[in-house]
Structure 1
Amino acid sequence: MVNEYYQGKLHVVFFPFMAHGHMIPTLDTAKLFGARGVKCTIITTPLNSPFFTKEIEKSKKINEGRSMIEIEVFRFPSVENGLYKGCENLEQAMMSLDMAEKFIKAASMLREQLEQYLEKTRPHCLVADMFFPWATECAAKFNIPRLVFHGISLFAHCTKEMVMVHQPYNNVSNDDESFVVPFLPHEIMLTRSQLPREYLVEGEQSELKRRHKKIQESEVQCYGVIVNSFYELEPDYADFFRKQLGRRAWHIGPVSLCNKSQKDECSLDEHKCLKWLNSKRPNSVIYICFGSLAHLIAPQLQEIARALDDLDYEFIWVVREDKYRMSEEWLPQGFKERTQGKGLVIGGWVPQVLILQHEAIGAFVTHCGWNSTLEAISAGVPMVTWPLFAEQFYNEKLVNNVLKIGAPVGAKKWQVVHFIEDLVKHENIVNAVRKIMDGDKGLEWRNKARKLKEMARKAIEENGSSYCDLTSLINELRDYHFQKHD
């Protein structure tokens, strides 16, 4: 039974991949659609649903008990695919590449439930994650337009496409020799070691290559792509994506800026972190966080601690909760005592958007995941770039070579789990941080970052580029629906 409040409204269904890096921006995207009077449904699994319901309850408090967002729960086949019971989020499966592959396979088993849901509800649009390429076929069965949600930048998407199609890595003699990615608007240089090993497998034998091909085919066949970015940030690549690659795209970000009232909703523990920042001078604190999927080994954590010992700056360092809970033996002897009052080492989740927006933050040491990168840009914070895997090495090039608002630590190898021989040494970390925190170059980067912050905020305001793109998309979906029923 359709709620009377929703009758006659455009209905858009969102289907994010089960990982916080995908769920968070999808929820924010749904909030943007909901704010324009669009009924939204988010598909998720039982153990991921509390994340969404908590946020929906918050919005109800603001909107007289109403929310434009509902939840639909699908059963997740973890045990049938060799995963342990209750493994419903990619973060839980990142102990090895084998487990991650099993998780992605399990996610593909949601196809039948999706088709049953679409047949029953007949929404006006399906926004499905890039990791669900089969969703295009599902939607087409019921003449429903499918949009792809990409959790990556347009720059990264264009770079990945040129690397995969033209394979410039075949023109170098070893993994550490640089090659130029062809046909891009800027000269972007990479090495083979900064690419997934599966890229380098001959022919179509690589699972990664097969998956990329399916995603590419699905994207070409679908209605278009929603991108969490804004035109002014990467105009050359927005144009390249549309004109050279021939893809339809709507940039509607930064979507995290929809959470204007978030500060009032923080818990007491989160406020403690922000209260600590309130006592610090502007641009004086380093924020260090590698996202929810990174697994840094103890020797690498020790190198970071040694760097913080050597640096005079105050810091907030977020460490994966599992590593932090197991023990603190990885910390150098006396580190906690020496840094008492100088810094916070926090295990688990923190209100990252609010931390980055705090005036005390002077630099962000980041893995260059797109959510984190865009949140830093939206807050006007320059970055120390330390990519690990996924498309993070591409994002590093955008930050340092195109936008010129960051300095690299010198990470050289694409790897989900790093080994002792891959360590980034503490002196490299120290040098990169000092480049941003001190001197004329750091000031130049900070000023550029602040200008981008203003551009980001204008983009989502009425008549801004992202605001207008979202308006255009919603109007187009309404026209599509009415034409179909004429």
Structure 2
Amino acid sequence: MSHLLLYPYPGSGHIIPILDLTHHLLRRGLTVTIMVTADDIPLLNPLISLHPNSLHTFIYSEPEITPSPHHPLIAKVISTQKLFGPIVQWFHSHPMPPVAIVSDFLFGWTSELASHLGIQRVVFSPSGAFSSSVIHMLWRDIKKIKDNFREGDESFFLAFQEIPSSPGFPWWQVPSLLRDYITGDQDCESFRKGMLANMTSWGIMYNTFEGLEGVYVDHMKKYVGHDRVWAVGPLLPEEHGAIDVSGRGGSSVVAPDRLVKWLDQKPDQSVVYICFGSQVVLSEKQMRALAGALELSNVGFILCVKAGGLENESSTIPSGFEDRVGKRGFVVKGWVPQLAVLRHRAVGSFVTHCGWNSTLEGITSGVMMLTWPMIADQFANAALLVDELGIGKRVCEGGPEICPDPAEMAQLLDESLSGDRPERVKIKELSQTAVEAVEHGTLAKDLDAFINLVSKI
């Protein structure tokens, strides 16, 4: 029975899919040790109860972070390298040490760790193959880009001829980590080396499936020069499986039964779900535009607003909004059981920031996507949904000063629930492909292929 060490980045968008991956690995007979902080242990409890003998934990305290003059994520990732020694000590004291480490793509330094331990390193990407391809090309070519970039030139455009469909993005849509590199320091270069190390690892796992991104998975196989690139998604709990989806990622601030009861009273495909993930907080200006669009529209809706933003930042719901929309709307201030909401028959479309977890949840639920990307890989994900797949429409894109026109957005909200829209037809077809990927498609085949190779190490 092979033993794997899994090391997720400690953030909900990263740890949730790797826990779903862990469930699949455990069901296939592997032993797994997962590295987590004490704060994340509650997220593991459902898996521990299902697999008490084969799932183990390596609980660590997050190392002290030395502030970076550029990006806090770089400082946090650099700090995790202090765990090199404790992991080595744990490994050598273990009666049956792991044969491989599966670590988040942000932890490129674990390639060196794996080499030191004499085991294989597998990259786990909670993002899709398309956005990962773009981001890798950016890190690879950033020094050349730096030579051609003029400070303050927001019209600077980057094209990626090597990637299928030759995508391109304006400079302002490039992730801030990479833009920071233009004025980077030693930490930025260390982080860059870690990102490039991902492409020389023994294998790569993408949370995606062939019907969604097969061409980009094949592209990465050609790029790295081997077939140990696996599409192991969509990594989501089964709709009627052993794990309760209502608690996925945390505790809901609203009783799930209350949300379901509200949705049960609505006709099929009549509700728009609006959520911007765990990181993004709308500015006051953006919230006014969104609220205005909802008031002008005729749709039923669930609006999920990040709780911290209501208290500490400017994302305040306009005064009297909830009274004006009445029973047509349901406003939630905090975490909601998103997957359970999206899977409900009453939900027909999804206004999303295009984080990859939300993207996969929307696709598998068969709801039309209304894209509003703001940071990181979200612009690439939106381009995939709208330009490549034709399953979504753009609502807005950009930072806190960029807002949709309320009247235009209201019209798009209304139209998104129209049954004859081509995007709705395509998303239903892709949703079925996602189900097949889990049952007998790339998720099942690629995981089996991975485990077969691991068992021979």
Q: What is the TM-score of this pair, normalised by structure 2?
A: 0.88
Partner-residue secondary structure (3-state), 2:456? helix
Kindly state the Cα deviation for residue 204 of structure 1 after the two structures are TM-superposed: 8.1
- The residue number in structure 1 matching 2:110 is 135
Q: Write the letter of the residue equivalent to 2:111.
A: T
Alpha carbons of 1:318 and 1:140: their partners in 2 closer, same or farther (altered >3 Å)?
A: same
Deviates more, 1:263-272 or 1:183-192: 263-272
Query: Who is 2:364 aligned against?
Result: 378
CA distance in 1, matches of 2:11, 2:182: 30
**Secondary structure in 1 aligned to 2:210?**
coil
Look up the equivalent residue of 2:213 and give its one-letter code.
E
Match of 2:437 among 456, 459, 472: 459
In structure 2, give the amino acid aligned to 1:253: G
Q: 1:264 to 1:334 in 2, by over 3 A?
A: closer
Counterpart of 1:40 in 2: which secondary structure? strand
Picking from 218, 222, 225, the partner of 1:246 is 225
Tell me the CA shift for residue 82 of structure 1: 6.0
Determine whether 1:308 maps to 2:298.
Answer: no
The CA distance in 1 between the partners of 2:332 and 2:455, in whole Å, is 46
Secondary structure of 1:232 counterpart: helix
Matched, 1:154 2:129: yes
Rounded to whole Å, the distance in 2 between the matches of 1:280 and 1:289 is: 19
Q: Distance in 1 between matches of 2:279 and 2:71?
A: 15
- 2:98 corresponds to 1:119: no
- Aligned-pair distance for 1:427? 3.7
Matched, 1:55 2:28: no
Does the CA-based 8 Å contact 1:162-1:182 persist in structure 2? no
CA contact (8 A) 1:408 1:432 kept: no
* 1:447 is aligned to 2:425: yes
Give deviations 1:289-341, integer Å, cap 9, x for gaps.
11111122222222211111111101111111212456999222321111221
Unaligned runs of 5+ in 2: none
Alignment of 1:47-86 (within 5 A): 47-52=39-44, 54-59=45-50, 66=52, 68-78=54-64, 81=66
Give distance in 2, aligned partners of 1:332 and 1:203.
39
The alpha-carbon deviation at position 140 of structure 1 amounts to: 1.6
Give 2:8's aligned residue.
16
> Aligned in 2, Cα 1:241/1:192: closer, same or farther, shift over 3 Å?
same
1:402 and 2:388 correspond: yes
**Structure 1 CA distance, aligned partners of 2:159 and 2:419?**
31
- Partner SS, residue 115 of structure 1: helix
The worse-fitting range, judged by mean Cα deviation, of 157-166 and 300-309 is 157-166
**1:317 and 2:303 correspond:** yes
What is the distance in 2 between the residues matched to 1:128 and 1:264?
24
Q: Which stretch of structure 1 is more off in the superposition, 277-286 or 27-36? A: 277-286
Residue of structure 2 in register with 1:63 after alignment: none
> In structure 1, what is the equivalent of residue 18 of structure 2?
26
TM-score (structure 1 length as normaliser): 0.83
- Quick one: distance in 1 between partners of 2:213 and 2:182? 32
- Aligned mates of 2:431, 2:53 — CA distance in 1: 29
**Structure 1: runs of 5+ lacking an equivalent:** 1-8, 61-65, 84-95, 481-486
Q: In the aligned structure 2, how far is the partner of 1:104 from the partner of 1:294?
A: 20
Code of the residue aligned with 2:77 in structure 1: it is I
1:266-285 to 2 correspondences below 5 Å? 269-285=255-271
CA-to-partner distance for each residue in 1:326-365, whole Å, 9 max, x for gaps?
A: 6999222321111221111112211111111111111111
What is the letter of the counterpart of residue 448 of structure 1?
Answer: K
Structure 2 letter corresponding to 1:20: S
Aligned to 2:303, what secondary structure does the other structure show?
Answer: strand
Indicate the percent of aligned positions where both proteins have the same amino acid. Answer: 28
Q: 1:329 to 1:138 in 2, by over 3 A?
A: closer
Q: Which moved more, 1:111-120 or 1:342-351?
A: 111-120
Quick one: distance in 2 between partners of 1:176 and 1:208? Answer: 27
Conserved 8 A contact 2:396-2:402: no
Report the residue type matching 2:321 in the other structure. F
Distance 1:306 1:475 in 2: 54
Report the AA paired with residue 32 of structure 1.
H
Would the alpha carbon gap of residues 99 and 469 (structure 1) be closer, same or farther in structure 2, given more than 3 Å must change? closer
Q: Secondary structure at the match of 1:422?
A: coil
Q: What amino acid does structure 2 have at the position aligned with 1:289? A: C
- Cα distance in 2 for partners of 1:264, 1:197 equals 33
Change (3 A) 1:41 1:308: same
What is the match of residue 194 of structure 1?
A: 173
Q: Give me the whole-angstrom Cα distance separating, in 2, the residues matched to 1:152 and 1:284.
A: 30
1:161-205 CA distance string (max 9 Å, x none): 334445697589942465533222214232111113553568683
Partner Cα distance (2:375, 2:83) in 1: 26
Residues 384-395 of structure 1 correspond to what in structure 2 (within 5 A)?
384-395=370-381
* Secondary structure of the structure 2 residue equivalent to 1:296: coil
Say if 1:28 and 1:258, in contact at 8 Å, map to a contact too.
Answer: no
Per the alignment, do residues 302 and 204 of structure 1 end up closer, same or farther by CA in structure 2, a change over 3 Å counting? closer
CA RMSD of aligned residues (A): 2.9
